[in-house]
Amino acid sequence: MTLARTDLGTLRGVAEAGVVKFRGVPYASARRFAAPQPVAPWSGEWDATAHGPIAPQPASRLAAAMGDYARPQAQDCLTLTIATPAVDAGQRPVIVFLHGGAYLSGAGSLDWYDGGALAAEGDCVVVGVNYRLGALGWLHLPGVAEGNAGLWDMVAALRFVQAHIHAFGGDPAQVTLAGQSAGAHAIMCLLALPETQGLFHRAVLQSTPASLPPHSSAQATAHAQSICDLLGVPSSALHDLPVERLIQGQMLLARSLATFADATPPLLPVIEDLADPSDFIQAAATAAAARNVKLIIGTTREEMHAFFVPSPAMQTPDAKDVDARFAGIAGDALAIELYRRRRPGADVAALLGDLVTDDMFLFPSIALAQATDAAGGTAFLYQFDWAAPANRFAACHCIELPFVFATFAAWPDAAMLAGGDAREMAGVASAMQRAWTSFARSGDPATPGLPWPAYTPVTRATMIFDRVLGLAGDPAGAAWRGGFGG
């Protein structure tokens, strides 16, 4: 038993595998759709040895690749999971992690994201954040829900870290905000908010769907009204509607918006001035440079394989739908031939996966790195290429997560890892952890034997994480940009 004494009260954690873990640490409370409020001080010891509930949510849409999880769910879910090498005055760098899940699913308290190994590897404090999801976190309907509740949850978590992380052996002046997928997208939004000035000092953006700008108020309001219409309830009923019905409504909205070979979430943050992809990328880059927030930005080689490979719609897709998707993104349906040359013998699902990976993740991430450099900031680019031999999911969305956290035992049902060599995986994980914690400590992810210079449009330096690690020049391959659409 280990105690952490904060200004709010004392928390009791548990020592495990050389680190101390505090679970279910309350950082805020909130009424439905309302902004989070600070936690009131308590007397006695807060039992932080067990996880609290996670945000209400549907099943993960990537369970076929990642496996699944089951945890108690409740609206009162605003808690942190903290792993530290020691509860002392160590002033260690802090990594705060925002999970992905399309703003619909996931939790920072899942064993997938256990920060113990990362904390031990880098002598740092690792914090996982539970924030509100789906309609509870992102519904925007004037007079009912102002929207961005989940984003303000993240701000509240960062404020808690600033005020109290010293009690867990952390340094509030060395906070790295890391996020994957929706979590990385949220970091771009947080950079654009003046309220986050000084709350974090570096950022790691893993698999950011940077091509998806926040919603405008009108767009978000229309989506919220659609939920009401699909459920057959007036907007005034949303405050008291059972959570299960709200989740049903958001999934009905998702199905009503679904289009072929697309994975756009139905609910997103709402930032009126940034509802354009170029403006969104430029705003994040400009803010990062102005605040001197150095960035690590990266993608996996086959992000969309996790979405498309198991999809029944992708097994025998209509040729007209395929042509329309290639024409819509690349400017010409014949662009599929360029992708076929790059991936000989691939089926249509894999080719569509490459196309949407480039459009949603890779090219916008490179654009963000370029815009950051142009604004006078610093960005380090990577691509994760490791894939288990003969695995149909390849280097898909989320596959880097068990490597960053070295939590392979927590992923027993992850088909994306099946057949991987344990020794090789442990080696890649160690390299990523050293890079991430070096960046958190110094702002430089380079480690002995693995130089990693900042990205510039001239060098296009990109760290490749694979069976052999090292720098590459241009990860984009420019499949359709070279021949179609400019």
Q: Which residues are marked as active site?
A: 181, 303, 397
If we measure between CA atoms, which residue out of 443, 370, 378 comes closest to residue 202? 443
Q: How far, in Å, CA of 404 to CA of 176, rounded?
A: 14
Pair 343, 354: CB distance under 8 Å: yes
Pair 178, 97: CB distance under 8 Å: yes
Q: How far, in Å, CA of 201 to CA of 95, rounded?
A: 10
| Neighbouring-strand partners of residue 94 | 125, 175
Residues 6+ apart with CB under 8 A from 281: 188, 210, 364, 367, 368, 371
Which residue is associated with the tokens 């829900």? Answer: 145
Pair 38, 64: CB distance under 8 Å: no
Residue 210 has φ and ψ, to the nearest 5°, of: -70, -10
By DSSP bridging, strand 470-472 and strand 202-206 are unpaired
Residues 6+ apart with CB under 8 A from 104: 57, 58, 61, 133, 134, 250, 254, 265, 266, 267
**297, two tokens:** 């930005």
The beta-strand segments (E) located in 186-321 are 202-206, 294-300
Query: Cβ-count burial of 273 within 10 angstroms (0-12 exposed, 13-18 middle, 19+ buried)?
Result: exposed
If we measure between CA atoms, which residue out of 197, 156, 183 comes closest to residue 36? 156
Q: How far, in Å, CA of 362 to CA of 25, rounded?
A: 36
